[in-house]
Amino acid sequence: MQLNKPQNFTTPLAKQSKTQTSNNRALKGLLTTAACALLGVNSNSEANTNVLADWKFDTALMFYNEPSRVSASEAIIAGTKTFNNDQILNLKVTVDALTGASANGAVTQPNPQTFTSPSGEKNYQVKANTTPLDNTFKDFRLQANAQWTQPLGNDYTWSVGSNLSKEYDYLSVGANTNIAKDFNKKNTTLSAGLALNYDVINPVGGIAKPLTPMLYPNQFARSVSSDDNEADSNNKITIADSDHKTTADLLFGVTQVINRRMIMQFNYSLSQVDGYLTDPYKFLSRVNNTGLTQQYLYENRPNSRTKHAFFAQTKYHLNNSIIDASYRYMTDDWHINSHTVDLHYRINLSKGSYIEPHVRYYTQTAADFYQPFIQEEAVLPEFASADYRVGKMDAYTLGVKYGMPVTSGQSMAFRVEYYHQTPKNAGFTQPGVLAKQNIYENIDAVIAQVSYSF
Amino acid sequence: MKRTVKCQTREAGFLLSFYAMASPCEVLVDCENEQHAKQLGQIAAFEAWRIEDKYSRYQQKSICGQLNLNAGKPCKIDQETYLLLKFSDECFMMSDQLFDITSGVLRKAWRFDGSDNIPSQTQIKALLPFIGWQKTTLTEHSFLMKKGMEIDFGGLGKEYAVDRALQLINEQTECPVLINFGGDLAANKARKDQQNKQLSQPWQVGVDHPSFDKQQVIVSMTSGAVATSGDANRYLLKNGKRYSHILNVKTGWPVEKPPSAITVAAPQCIQAGFLSTLALLQGENAEQFLTEQEIKFWAIR
């Protein structure tokens, strides 16, 4: 415990510190000259004392394109500073811009369809036999993360961080903490973490009453007179302007060094999400027994979700390459079960450059409330969503990354990936005209990324 | 101790180890050529042994031994000895006469064996006339000190050997090398990250702090040097008061409340060594001193 020395009142503080600084320079300078004379080298530069690397920056630009659908660009800048005693501060800012169209949940029809934009101000048309996409989809997201990591004693590492993400209709704030303990000469590490997030969604046009129809401007007057719920000048009967959800994640992990060449990691995470989990912009088509759409209903999802995820990863160093393989199994109380297999194989080339092929396979079952459409004569379920993201699907990614040093301590990498998603029929029969429609349209995307570290 | 250099393979390269200057010494070389690594290890070992033979105060035939034996007479010195003495002279000036290579004479009164044998003021007073760098005369070719005085390069020799060895190694290699002579370290450049060869990563070195509970400080360094000075297990205890082996040459008494160990970073090991010793000499204010000097350090109380 250090005690503060009483200030010397006779010397004004400013003057005192100024004198101090010039003395410091004098001692450092003298010592440099003295060592230089002794060793016959020019050590006259503080840059020589590069004992702890200063700020290190990683930057990346990424482009994501689903032809005829969403395109996104993302810029990331992350800075890491290592302080004395291995304390690490990591700051990261990510900016994403998304434009284009995303599937609104309605089914394909043999005739053109008209939808009202979320704001209720304009309509958009979808051609016959094409997947309805909401082309008013446009977003800009800013994310900021800060993480502090430090050793506690010899065997513990503690980390704490916070994150913030803002879109025009969305705000997410969160905090996390993690503690890791090394055992067995640091060959085994056990870790436990907790992350909490609070998200507020403020959708354009408000939050629709679950499973109520999308309204056209000419239907507006009717709905006001026939319903007690507030209906303002938009395309839906709203129940609120905004809603929120909370997420708590618990993570337990073991990392084990198997031998000089191999390291394995196992994680289990439990995630509990409560609150508004519905996508406020997604519809379900209500079709009659000939398969023709009669109405578009706003979807509704349960207000809680409990997920369990199991993850295993192994990295194996060969002489000139590294195999990095991982598998993840996720199951939740919506009955979505997913498997992910991810394989990276990094081959070191000459002079520090490398090439890294990447293969990923993903498959999931549908949520129990998923249905591609609602039949007119059926009783409305409590929960329903036609969002392909909670439906049955397979997906794979093929990619390659090439990295190379630029100058000492600086490097560049280029990554190109192709993503292919195949939504599947989870056992629904398609009545009438729907039988001929492709209501499970594949999605292809291309991802390109350039990153630069210095 | 037999003078041999042992070579072991390790991840990313080789570890060359030998024993010199009463310490285990190591040279870590990140390269794939074993012959080359061995050659670098030998360069370091030969330089360490050369400096030990030339400047150890325990060897009567060494220059240090000869200068001490011939105290009272002007002695001829070579260029390297002149430079070392000149550096000691600069240290003496920079430290406001606290860092003094003639202070070893006080060992005649102070034996830091963990006992409670505190010398009397009379004993100490009798030694003070034989201490004081200002009483010596140094020219480029000669050195003279009063009869009864002694010099000791113990505080700088090992650090000097680290710097010299790294200098010689740098003439022979482009590979990342870390030299560790009994806890005094220097590295020439960052190592290559083993997983991602285009990235560099710092050397992570555990520096044993010779305190009671054997604390270790993990230092990450890319280039530059680190030296540690400490209380070791050398102190006296009497009536609950701890007498550190860090002596104030002006009074002949131990410095009050120095940290038990201090590790300092600097471009050259010899600078780090001087600064860590000088910091200990500041006693209670050691940390404040280094902070004001804007010097990186790790202190253990």
| Burial category of A210 from C-beta neighbours within 10 Å (exposed 0-12, middle 13-18, buried 19 and up) | middle
Contact criterion met (CB < 8 Å) for A86 and B90 = no
pLDDT for res B223:
85
Across chain A, which has 454 residues, the per-10-residue mean pLDDT values are 31 33 60 77 43 72 87 91 80 90 90 83 84 81 94 88 94 96 85 96 90 72 44 70 95 89 92 96 92 92 97 88 94 97 91 90 96 92 94 96 80 93 93 91 93 88
User: Which residues from chain A sit within 8 angstroms of residue B205, using beta carbons?
Assistant: none
Chain B: residue nearest A410 by CA?
A: B199
pLDDT for res A96:
92
Does B266 touch chain A if contact means CB atoms closer than 8 Å? yes
Does B79 touch chain A if contact means CB atoms closer than 8 Å? no
Pairing mode, if any, of strands A170-183 and A188-201? Answer: antiparallel
Hey, what amino acid is at A334? W
Check: CB of residue A174 under 8 Å from CB of residue A189: no
Chain B: residue nearest A43 by CA?
A: B267
Q: What are phi and psi of B135, to 5 degrees?
A: -90, 5
* Distance from C-alpha of B221 to C-alpha of B180, rounded to nearest angstrom: 13
Rounded to two decimals, what is the model's pTM? Answer: 0.57
User: Which residues from chain B sit within 8 angstroms of residue A82, using beta carbons?
Assistant: 220
Residue range B248-286, pLDDT digits in tens: 888 888 888 888 888 898 889 999 999 999 998 888 888
pLDDT for res B233:
59
**For all residues of chain B together, what is the average pLDDT?**
86
Does B221 touch chain A if contact means CB atoms closer than 8 Å? yes
Nearest to B94 among A31, A322, A352 (CB): A31
- pLDDT of B185 > 60? The answer is yes
Nearest to B268 among A2, A43, A352 (CB): A43
Contact criterion met (CB < 8 Å) for B293 and A28 = yes
Q: Which residues pair with A50 in a beta bridge?
A: none
User: Which residues from chain A sit within 8 angstroms of residue B195, using beta carbons?
Assistant: 317, 322, 346
Answer yes or no: CATH 1.25.40.10 is held by domain A57-453.
no
Residue range B87-113, pLDDT digits in tens: 999 899 888 888 999 988 888 888 877
Check: CB of residue B271 under 8 Å from CB of residue B293: no
Secondary structure (H, E, C), A391-429: CCEEEEEEEEEEEEECCCCCEEEEEEEEEEEEECCCCCC
Residue range B17-57, pLDDT digits in tens: 999 988 889 999 998 888 899 999 999 999 999 999 999 88
pLDDT for res A277:
96
pLDDT band of B59, cuts 50, 70, 90: confident
- The tokens for B148 are 């009864």
pLDDT for res B215:
63
Query: If we measure between CA atoms, which residue out of B161, B81, B163 comes closest to residue A41?
Result: B163
Report domain extents, chain A. 57-453
Query: If we measure between CA atoms, which residue out of B290, B298, B271 comes closest to residue B156?
Result: B271
pLDDT for res B196:
63
Check: CB of residue A364 under 8 Å from CB of residue A308: no
pLDDT for res B23:
86
Contact criterion met (CB < 8 Å) for A51 and B294 = no
**Order of strands across the sheet with A283-287?**
A293-298, A283-287, A373-375
Check: CB of residue A367 under 8 Å from CB of residue A334: yes
Nearest to B270 among A38, A82, A409 (CB): A38
User: Which residues from chain B sit within 8 angstroms of residue A52, using beta carbons?
Assistant: 202, 220-222, 296
pLDDT for res A285:
94
Contact criterion met (CB < 8 Å) for B200 and A154 = no
